[in-house]
A and B are shown apart, each in its own frame.
Chain A
Amino acid sequence: MNTARQYSTFRLAENWYAVDVLQVQEIIRPQEMTRVPLASPVVSGLINLRGQLVTALDLRRRLDLAPRTDGREPMNVVIRTAEGPVSLLVDEIGDVFEIDSKDLEVPPETVEPGLRALLTSVARLDGRLLLLLDLEAVMELSPA
């Protein structure tokens, strides 16, 4: 049986990624950040989201991508998790797409293993490849 779900998309470097829209609490502009010395390099810092402290993870670092060079501030994709919201820093926000489950494929072997472990599947959409993130795996950091 095929079911369609909505996915929120965003860009990091030249690739487009997607997460289930239901897992996204909100998307916010670049925020002032308090850095946390000694924490994992993936942790960019803490942001104040209306009185709530939210940890911001640098998704580029998490995915082993080169640091941003365009000088633009990253956007926050705030994800709901069991332990409270966590923000993922991304380069650019894309549209919300509806993707049918039959269009989801297993990530191809050619994808680098480190990245593969963080993906649930990939989808082809208008000739563009969407990488669907496994959020649980993304949130799990090896100890600093």
Chain B
Amino acid sequence: MDDLLKEFLVESHENLDRLDRDLVNLEKTPDSRDLIASIFRTIHTIKGTSGFLALSKLEAVAHQAENLLSRLREGKLKLNAEITAAMLRSVDRIRAMLSSIESTESEGNEDDSELIATLARLQDPNAAAASASAPAAPAKPTIAPKPVNTVAPKPVVAPKPVAAAPKPVVAPPPAAPVASSPAPAPAPAAKPAAKEAPPPAPAQVSTQPAAEPPKSAIADTSIRVDVSLLDRLMNLVGELVLARNQIIQVTARAEDAAFTATSQRLNLITTELQEAVMKTRMQPVGGVWSKFPRIVRDVSADLGKKVELEMAGTETELDRTIIEAIKDPLTHIIRNAVDHGIEPPELRRQTGKSEVARVLLRALHDGGQVLIELIDDGRGIDPAKIRAKAIERQLVTQEQSLRMSDREVIQLIFLPGFSTAEKITNVSGRGVGMDVVKTNVERIGGTVDIESKLGAGTTIRIRIPLTLAIIPALIVRVTQERYAIPQSSLVELVRSEAEKGKPAFELIQGTPVYRLRGKLLPLLFLARELKLGAAVQDSTSAALNIVVLQSGSQQFGLVVDGVEDTAEIVVKPLGKHFKGLNCYAGATIMGDGRSALILDVDGLAERSGMQGKSGSIEMRKDTVVTERRTDLEKLLLFGFGDGSRYAMPLSAVARLEEFPRKSIERSGVREVVQYRGEIMPLVRVSNVLTGMESCSEDEMERAVVYSHNGRSVGLIVGRIEDIVETRIDLRDTGRRPGVRGTAVVQDRVTDVVDVPGMLQAADHEFFQQAVA
């Protein structure tokens, strides 16, 4: 059964029990507003959820009951016996449907129209008054179902031990025999009292339609537990694991066979216990995700975009603290994807995509971790724009940015203070963006990675551990100290021994590197990083133990004195006295009772300047040349009704917008439009370039928003045709103010627009400021 449905059933059974109680109390104190409000809320919840789960019959009954209650709540109706009866009948009916859903996953096909009609009729105060004087006929039948409920002497408990199944069977509940006889032998050993009693094989029993559906089996087999209790349990198990580890170490030296056997049993049981306890904290990610379709709908509607969100792997289970921790980062990147990633439908159509954009959110298990991916088929991220922005924000220098690969450039969006949104919208662009996402994910030991292809879409990958508390780790040694490295960052272990004419490692411009299968791997010496004194390792002739680690998209080799073992460790946070030390992820207590520090691989890389800085760039020098050899330019192609075609560099395009012609207003001689809370001047490109007035064919005007120094201008273009990436061979043929020249693009003669030049030609004075 669907988890969502299961949750709904458990919750509803609890709610219904309360409803019974509340309704009965309400009869005694019919004026209690609190009670009415409580009942209303309960019914409302059931209605809402059943609507969400497409349980239409259930929803219909709950809806009418809710209407009736809202009348009571508003004081337009007074509670009378008939209303109470109808309400109780509704509750019984809802309960019956829930039972039916539980056993057959359908609401059953009983006819509710009479009940619904009654509920509807009672909402009319006059009708209610009229019928109240009449004998309260409908009140009677409601009493009937109730006794049945109480007659059934909750036999659910009895058959259970007989089944002796290790796990309680969820459905069908083997409680049905009550109907045939109150004494169906619970065990085969019991004397055959009832001849007609069917053999107590659950399979046969369940084929018999039960006269009265037993109380929910699901509700009976699950209980609600305070999370703090689970946390405590988890901590205790963590301690037990440690104690187990210590015992195993003692066992290794022991010679007593009985002791060895016992400690092995202890080992197995502890492992199972640990898994079981961890399972209690696992929840499917889908629970949190259920609000995302709504977010996508709202955001895309706000922005006039068409986006379809698909979700896969919602059943993937994660520790609840982790689910909570990734909720906000995920929400943020989804909003971001819709806001920045997805193009307006118009542009999508012109670029040959379907108008409805697809955003896929999926989760899957991947090597002991959970991988969450958000994939969109939007416009992708333009590395050139990111580069420009990063330089403008002084996050990197011009020179640095040129040395970075496109992939590295895109990772710049994770830097604090980076936001490409030109204007703050209510969707995104507050500058608290991807860097917060990154820190939040890294705080729980995860990583974020982004991959984008211009024009084709963006993929954001979040890797997170299954649980926070216990992690597998590699234990390494440097000098006398042991350190734990989380397995999740571990790629491989390499031992490099100096041979004749081949040193253990090389130095490239002072940076130690190791050639690993033809690739250069930058090396970090742990002893040196931790300032433990490291004269020996600097000699290229010594043998090296290299732990190859992954940090973000980068690998590096960590040189240690020795590799000891792998172990399951319980992560304990370091106290406040270690704040600002990013090279440790925490500490743990080892099997021998001594503590060891856990290395933070990303922190180490960052500390050594490995990430995106000197170390890696030094190595990439030779590849930069090849990357820049092809100087492709991305162009936005547009045209007017007259068949002419123009191109402008996509780097000049901040956004593409559509304005209804009606929204264009005038300020003096200029056309303006209200845009993102500002007044944005408009320039008709056709006037400037061709001297001719041109209007679009429909009621919408398409504009390219060009921004400079915080000011925006809307360039009205007739028709957006395409976005291409091509090398342009510029000729002087069509050169004039605002046009850089003419080139052949996609076999057509195209004028390449010089945007700043054109703006000056359009209105010298006004745009001077914007262009300067």
Contact = CB atoms under 8 A, between A and B. Distances in A.
Interface in B568-582: 572, 574-581
B594 interface: yes
Interface residues of B, number: 24
B589 A48 contact: yes
B580 A144 contact: yes
Interface string A37-68: 11110110011100111010100000000000
B242 A51 contact: yes
Given A34-B597, A36-B578, A53 B587 contact: yes
A40 B574 CA distance: 13
B640 interface: no
A94 interface: no
A38 B593 CA distance: 23
B595 A39 contact: no
A109 interface: no
Contacts of A37: 481, 530-532
Contacts of A51: 239, 242, 589
Nearest to A42: B577
B768 to A, nearest CB: 49
B595 A53 contact: yes
Given A46-B595, A48-B595, A143 B572 contact: no
B561 to A, nearest CB: 14
Interface residues on A, range: 20 to 34
A37 B531 CA distance: 7
Contact of B594 (A32, A36, A143): A32
Contacts of B597: 34, 36, 46
A83 B575 contact: yes
B436 interface: no
Interface centre among B532, B572, B577, B596, by most A CB within 10 Å?
B577
Contacts of A90: none
Nearest to A45: B595
Interface string A80-124: 000110100000000000000000000000000000000000000
A25 to B, nearest CB: 14
A43 B587 contact: no
A36 B589 contact: no
A55 B354 CA distance: 60
24 contacts: A34-B587, A34-B595, A34-B597, A37-B481, A37-B531, A38-B583, A42-B577, A43-B577, A46-B595, A46-B597, A48-B595, A51-B239, A51-B242, A53-B572, A53-B575, A53-B589, A55-B574, A55-B575, A55-B578, A83-B575, A83-B576, A86-B575, A139-B577, A143-B579
Given A48-B589, A48-B594, A53-B575, 10 more contacts: A36-B574, A37-B481, A38-B531, A38-B583, A42-B577, A48-B593, A48-B595, A53-B572, A53-B587, A83-B576
In the A-B complex, list the 4 residue pairs whose CB atoms are closest, starting with the nearest.
Answer: A37-B530, A34-B595, A55-B575, A46-B595
